[in-house]
Amino acid sequence: MPNFIPYNHKQDAMVVINFEDQIQPGTFEHALHFLIEQKLDLFIFHPKYKNDVTGRRAYDPAVLLKIIMFAYSKGITSSREIEWCCQTNIIFKALSCDTVPHFTTIAVFVSDYPAAIELLFEQILLVCDEQGLLGHELFAIDGCKMSSNAAKEWSGTFKELEENRNKIKRHIRHHMEEH
């Protein structure tokens, strides 16, 4: 009779995880993290917070934006499901630095800033679309530059670019309304 190493899917394990290592370059979540941390001005969210002297610490809008926008990119619009993802999904944990905002915190943030979130999400999606991170056919090998023949269907006019932008805006509006 074979002698196998026993295994049990129900066991708990302590695993050391570096969250920064989970956000891989060349992915949507990496672009989202970079843009929110380095490029976008999030000052528009700060006036609401009046807890500098007294009051409980608040979640940083950067963290909330990252998990909300990443969830939207995956078609997740439920605040409860976003909270659950922050508890169980390693990418959500990495984007939130292992914080788990309550679903009411997420819902209030979205309802307080729908126009600002929509505008930021549009900017992020446009940048990611330019980088080829939104599900189009992509050919890349470790950042190597290779010559190619650009087909007519992959290049576009300004009218076609505007149509793409409008399509992205409709998707954003749909997710915002559904949430």
Residue spans per domain, the chain = 23-48+55-178
pLDDT: which is higher, 29 or 119: 29
* pLDDT tops 90 at residue 33: yes
pLDDT value at residue 150: 52
Confidence (pLDDT) at 79 = 95
- pLDDT band at residue 141 using 50, 70 and 90 as cut-offs: very low
Record the pTM.
0.67
**Count H helices, E strands: the chain?**
8, 0
3-class secondary-structure state, position 97: coil
Residue with tokens 């009779």: 1
**How confident is the model over 138-159, as a mean pLDDT?**
53
